Amino acid sequence: MKATQGILETVIYARDVDAAEAFYRDVFGLDLVSKVPERWAFFRCGRQMLLVFNPEKSREAGPGTVIPRHGTEGAGHFCFRVRDRTEVAAWGNHFAALGLAVERYHTWPNGAQSVYVRDPAGNSVEVGEAALWDFPPE
């Protein structure tokens, strides 16, 4: 069996789907692809998708439910990839200009850098340079 080609979707959970939609649209500039109010908002991010589900609704089985039920409690985490530390710094400045609290700037043992903020649901959102995992910049 060949290895997969990458991650197609990343899922986070937020009870307030409208607040999550505004955050990922207005702060990160993601394009909304699909939304069902109070249930989910799906965003395109490069060649991947960021899916935001209301955990209460995603655990419900309803008429016509075909996708396995899922959901979690508590804050999740994911990382947006940027080319280099210059872009990480630019994102930190962008967050500050928007009045968002930067939770942490971090330099990893290999010298790669990241910046962390929280979304309205409390999820930890990292912006890190590709070198963090030894990926070449795109």
Q: Are residues 43 and 84 in the same domain?
A: no
Return the pLDDT at 135: 86
What is the chain's pLDDT, residue by residue, as a tens digit (138 residues)? 998 888 999 999 999 999 999 999 999 999 999 999 999 999 999 999 999 999 998 887 766 777 787 888 889 999 999 999 999 999 999 999 999 999 999 999 999 999 999 999 999 999 999 999 998 877
Q: What is the pLDDT of residue 58?
A: 86
Rounded Cα–Cα distance for residues 51 and 61 (Å): 19
| Phi-psi map region of 99: left, alpha, beta (phi>0 left; psi -120 to 50 alpha) | left
pLDDT for residue 62:
67
Q: How far is CA 16 from CA 13, 82, 107, in A?
A: 9, 27, 32
pLDDT of residue 72: 87
Same-domain pairing of 79 and 121: yes
- 41 inside domain: yes
Structural contact between residues 135 and 117, judged by C-beta atoms closer than 8 angstroms:
no
Domain membership flag for residue 106: yes
Q: Which domain holds residue 7?
A: 1-58
Does residue 65 lie in a domain region? Answer: no
If asked whether residues 98 and 129 sit together in one domain, one would say yes
**Contact in structure between 20 and 121 (CB atoms under 8 Å):** yes
Give the per-residue pLDDT at 63: 67
Q: What is the pLDDT of residue 59?
A: 84
Q: How crowded is residue 66: how many other Cβ atoms within 10 Å of its Cβ?
A: 4
47 and 85, same domain (yes or no): no
Q: Which residue has the tokens 């990382």?
A: 79
Its pTM surpasses 0.85: yes
The CATH number linked to 84 is: 3.10.180.10
In a domain, 24, yes or no: yes
